[in-house]
Amino acid sequence: MKYIFTKTLWSFLNDREYRQLLLTTFFVLALGSIVYRVLEGWSWIDSIYFSLITLTTIGYGDFSPQTTEGKLFTIFYILIGVGIILTFINTVYHHYFSNRNEDDSKQ
């Protein structure tokens, strides 16, 4: 199992398209974190946490934007970010199982 995970991760990072998706995902999370830090005055960890929880649609409800600007940004952020995050998660999932199935068929 550890071998499959390492092999999948390595092949994922070596593929240009996947790397771009990974960079886009990190960019969207970083953008949200910076904006929430500035607009809401949250700590870095709270801003990162809220960005990740929001984009993965978990939404615990323990944080929410209080400023009008923060609320407006959140609307935009969700519309753009959820699609990117879900694409990233779906791509990683399919890439992992694709490599796993290749390894199973070779044995």
The tens digit of pLDDT for each residue in 65-102 reads 999 999 999 999 999 988 888 888 888 787 777 766 66
Separation of alpha carbons 95 and 64, rounded Å: 34
pLDDT of residue 103 exceeding 70, the answer is no
For 97, half-sphere exposure in the C-beta direction (CA atoms, 13 angstrom radius) is: 5
Per residue in 19-37, pLDDT (tens digit) is: 888 888 899 999 999 999 9
Query: What is the 3-state composition of the chain as percent helix, strand, coil, each rounded to the nearest 5?
Result: 85, 0, 15
Paired tokens of 69: 């600007």
How many angstroms separate the CA atoms of 45 and 37, rounded? 9
Distance CA 6, CA 9 (A): 5
User: Diameter of the chain by CA atoms?
Assistant: 58
Task: For the full predicted model, state whether its pTM sits above 0.85.
Answer: no
Q: Which two tokens stand for residue 15?
A: 């593929």
Quickly name the fold that domain 40-84 has: Helix Hairpins (1.10.287)
Tokens describing residue 72: 């407006």
In sequence order, what are the residues at sequence separation of 6 or more whose Cβ sits closer than 8 angstroms to the Cβ of residue 46? Answer: 36, 63
